[in-house]
A and B are shown apart, each in its own frame.
Chain A
């Protein structure tokens, strides 16, 4: 089992590098996008080492492509392993999605049909990743815009089977649950209650936007009440867990994100019923 970590953190983004390097910011951990630091050298690696000297760091990837039918990219795994060895992260995570096939890389988190074949592929890839990295990963539930007619199981059944077969942990993105539930018409509370909650080691909280037909997982807005509501529902069912605000676009001043993190702390402590 992946060890638990209890605390509240943020995704580290460029506009806030100096804040974290020059001041003691009240967070328990930081999460970085792995690929931004899987480079040979230079300022990005130097910054990450400085950050790591001050805060626990979680590595969150977007390009492993655990759903690729033609397997994982060995060069990618080697670079990620080198970064893991260098940083000794709290967690290593990536998404339940695919981005690469036949040498093409979409650089987007593309959806999987929840079939037995896809489950076998993802389990085999996650097993290979565990071996290559020398540790178990967290897999994040995705936000999706397509519901494949060929699906043979629900997303939560797929995740439950994946965790059971590979021993991976779960990075629960509460915003993704809300976005997918809205897009595909399922009950997000039922989804959360059906997950293997004992596997959850980290939580993402984020905002989304309304597209023409669908909710879009844009991470460019504050966490909305609908997502706080789901967080309040699930946090008390979990054991010690690392909760963080994930913001990728329209990055606000750090103080705004810390204020959101205070709401998460309040909800988790039972001091705030739910954010307005």
Chain B
């Protein structure tokens, strides 16, 4: 349909979603399980970026840190404090896991902002898996740590008795909506920002509008830098909140 629209409007061509197409890097074949595609490339770059920051940056183990090392320490301290403050001290066992999520999302988002880049976190396939991992982990941890008492999360004991079954249904629904909102929020934000930038870029084809378009792209880009970080932060802190529910289910 986007094609049709482009054709209808003549010179003005919008392909806001083309940037999200998964395609093989070598050859033109179908995308199989192990095909090397742009997904593979940008995920590998995310790994490389994480490794560069967290391993090469800290390789000198300096007591007085260099810039890269202090950024790595900042990230460490940021997530460590978040896990400790939000989810409690006993959640620190999950700190590497949460750190992994945060570092991956933050670097995937930022690498996606590189012009011509492919944004892995804009795909529901990626974010749904991330959210389901959190959901499954939280549910399992909740039942392992608290047993049947974990179900107390849905039984609001502070509410009047008559209301409790209704509240329980609402709580259960909201519990199962968590992974949905958790994943769609991240992918939706990233996708929306990139699509908007692309739409503005499409307007730049008209010479009169192009200065406005360039300014708008710049402004959106700045906003997207902010959103990239905030969405990673939100994803991480919601993970911590869910983890707190699993570890301390008392309402």
Q: Do A and B associate with each other?
A: no
